[in-house]
Amino acid sequence: MSEGSCLRFETTAVHGDKGYDPLTGAISFPIYQSSTFRHGGLNESTGYDYSRLLNPTSEEVENTVAKLEEAKYGIGFSTGLAAIDAVLRLFKPGDHILISDDLYGGTFRLFREIYSVYGIKHSFIDTTDLDEIVRNINENTKAIFIETPSNPMMKVTDIKAAAEIAKLNNLIVIVDNTFLTPYFQKPLNLGADIVVHSGTKFLGGHNDTLAGFVVTNSDAIKEKIIYYKKATGAVLSPFDSWLILRGIKTLHIRMDKSQDNAIKIAEFLRVHPKVEEVFYVGLPESKGYVISKKQSSGFGAMISFKVKDKADVAEILKNVKVITFAESLGGVETLITYPQTQTHSEVPQEIKDRLGVTDKLLRLSVGIENIEDLIQDLKKALG
């Protein structure tokens, strides 16, 4: 769509980058389920040679995600972790990266168990504390990796302030924007250099596909990331690209509805006698509330809560009926997860204890069901 840069978020989400297939006029962008493409002759190409390098369907979703983030470039990957893996290949042995201490267990594993073997150094710090960021920068520090809101404790880092510190020290800022999506938060506009997404989650929105994205305005970073994708082959397939395109069409509607439900559920949980504490950035008493209001247009649909009695955990997970006990997040269905043994199982217990990821913590990804049904389900499960 030639006028795409002038369109508002909702319109771009519905229509995508091109708006339709220019070849056929198809409104639903086609699935170009082809691994290779015909050449007209020597040194002649349609621009598509091999789908590991570029595919029309994958290109459409990459450009759509870039537009939603108000960025120049989007690069698709087979999963969110594959996207983060490509970003980490920007660094060399001896480089040091500061990382939000509270973050998805898979990202933790990638830093601690995989890239540390190859000499990429890291420090897990509280990136919500700007002084702690400054204290941990050394001569080898090259980047700050921020997850905000964090998983699962919903800690909020001031992206703009962190980016200002980074620029003074010649560091790049990487932000995982999975929880809020570009509908509620645009980290590049706040000074970040790279945004990563697990497209599996809210972008896809239906728990039916896997995807990841790297988004940037940097020509140099884009070229390197595309090369890493070409070399390693962790590409986003045409069919999965189409599923993400389909999901994005309703992203804004789903995010608004899920957030409305999340606010009501958080308010219900905060006064329940069996609940010790609720972690949701949309509650005014949340430590991240003020910063969220400043840097984001919404609070999202992720809630964690701590019960007073550990025995209630098993009862809740067994007794929910409308809410589903399952890993992952970001779909239309409300899911409940036990970070202790699921998403954060490989994080050392002493780190989990320090962060508050205890055996009494549960995490909710709030969906778009009827709110009364969800609250009634929680009431019965909590007993």
DSSP line for 126-176: -TT-HHHHHHT--TTEEEEEEESS-TTT-----HHHHHHHHHHTT-EEEEE
Q: Report how far residue 252's alpha carbon sits from residue 95's, in angstroms, rounded to the nearest whole number.
A: 38
Other CB atoms within 10 A of residue 351 CB: 15
Q: Report how far residue 155's alpha carbon sits from residue 147's, in angstroms, rounded to the nearest whole number.
A: 9
What value does the CA radius of gyration of the chain take, rounded to a whole number of Å? 21
Q: Which residue among the candidates 17, 102, 176, 240 is catalytic per the annotation? A: 176
280 belongs to the catalytic site:
no
Tokens for 242? 């189409």
Q: Which residue among the candidates 52, 112, 160, 264 is catalytic per the annotation? A: 52
Q: Do the strands 73-77 and 212-216 form a parallel or antiparallel pair, or are they unpaired?
A: antiparallel
Query: Exposed, middle or buried, 193 (CB in 10 Å: 0-12/13-18/19+)?
Result: buried
363 belongs to the catalytic site:
no
Output the CA–CA distances (angstroms, integers) from residue 230 to 76, 248, 265, in the order listed: 11, 25, 44
Calculate the CA 18 to chain-centre distance. Answer: 24
Is there a contact between 328 and 378 (Cβ–Cβ < 8 Å)? no
Q: Which residue among the candidates 17, 89, 101, 104 is catalytic per the annotation? A: 104
Output the CA–CA distances (angstroms, integers) from residue 14 to 26, 32, 158, 197, 254, in the order listed: 14, 20, 30, 19, 13
Q: Which residue among the candidates 155, 201, 352, 360 is catalytic per the annotation? A: 201
50 belongs to the catalytic site:
no
Cα angle 102-103-109, degrees, rounded to a multiple of 5: 115
User: Is the omega angle on the peptide bond into residue 348 within 30 degrees of 0, that is, cis?
Assistant: no
254 belongs to the catalytic site:
no
Residues, the chain: 383
HEC letters along 57-101: HHHHHHHHHHHHCCCCEEEEECCHHHHHHHHHCCCCCCCEEEEEC
Active-site positions? Answer: 52, 104, 176, 201
